[in-house]
Structure 1
Amino acid sequence: MKPVRVLFVCLGNICRSPLAEGVLCALAEQKGLASALQVDSAGTGAWHIGEPPDGRSIQAARRHGIDISAQRGRQLRAEDFRDFDLILGMDENNVRTLKGLAPEGAAGKVHLFLNYASGRSEDVPDPYYEGADAFEALYQMLEAGCSSLLVRLGERTS
């Protein structure tokens, strides 16, 4: 069976989306579902292309046994709309930007992450200007959302 291809998108691809990518991959691995998924992340902006995730995201992941330090920031590409089955924006602003960039017929792939994963119409807040506590809260929010997302994707691939 062809894996479900999931792309997480935030503004700069250094805080939220790389952590979401790491969390989903780790949870899928724990549940024996890694081969059923292809996961990546990107930013709508180009400020951090080639850079590692924010050190606070790396530390939050590491505290939970996940290593995201090898990831590198990248900007969303036009072909992402073709290459991914599901494009999950971390907040409503990301979703608006994604839908504005989506070619005809691809906007249906774009969803607000928490809404798609768990039915909560809620943004994942950007912790960039916050401290370590905000990154731990981000991790907890992403872990809960990714757990729900795995259940939903499991139903989709069954």
Structure 2
Amino acid sequence: MAQNIFRAALDEAGLAGRVRVSSCGTSGWHTGEPADNRTRTELLAHGYSDAHVAEQFSPTHFDADLLVAMDAGHVRDLERKRLGNRVRLLRTFDPTAGPDSLDVSDPYYGTSEDFAATREQIEAAVPGLLAWVHATLDGA
């Protein structure tokens, strides 16, 4: 969900050709599968693409400028790979997220309302993430 929402923001900002965005899990669950149908429904209902094929984090991702994690468990998994200080929680880009609420909710076992809440958390972080991209590109 975050990949597609952020790609839409990059496209709207005219940066799609300058930034590579990929999505992967820290484990191999669902590798090769499309997004969950509830995710796809939520994305399409709000004007986003639902294109996605699940993949696992691998050496092809090691050169990323930024590795965005959805929750603290993902951060720990990525930090074990000694990737430096390029790992950040997505919600750290949301100025309204408190320090005790930085994990993006995992809606997998929830309802359609949970998928909507997750989308809203992602959307709230996108302006800050987009600002990070602008600052990084301007400094390059």
Normalising to structure 1: TM-score of the pair? 0.79
The aligned counterpart of 2:91 is: 114
The separation in 2 between residues aligned to 1:58 and 1:81, in whole angstroms, is: 28
**Highest relative contact order (Cα 8 Å, sep 6+), 1 or 2?**
1
Alignment coverage as a number of residue pairs: 134
1:76 to 47, 57, 60: 57
The aligned counterpart of 1:27 is: 9
The aligned counterpart of 1:46 is: 28
Runs of 4+ in structure 1 over 6 Å off: none
Amino acid at match of 1:46: G
Alpha-carbon distance, 1:37 to partner? 1.2
The aligned counterpart of 1:36 is: 18
User: Any conservation in 1 of the 2:26–2:56 contact (CA below 8 Å)?
Assistant: yes
Q: Does 1:134 align with 2:134?
A: no
Unpaired runs of 5+ in structure 2?
A: none
The separation in 2 between residues aligned to 1:94 and 1:143, in whole angstroms, is: 19
The separation in 1 between residues aligned to 2:59 and 2:13, in whole angstroms, is: 32
3-state secondary structure, aligned to 1:49: coil
Q: Does 1:93 align with 2:73?
A: yes
Unpaired runs of 5+ in structure 1?
A: 1-18
Q: Give the structure with the higher percent strand.
A: 1
3-state secondary structure, aligned to 2:20: strand
Normalising to structure 2: TM-score of the pair? 0.89
3-state secondary structure, aligned to 1:79: helix
Alpha-carbon distance, 1:78 to partner? 2.6
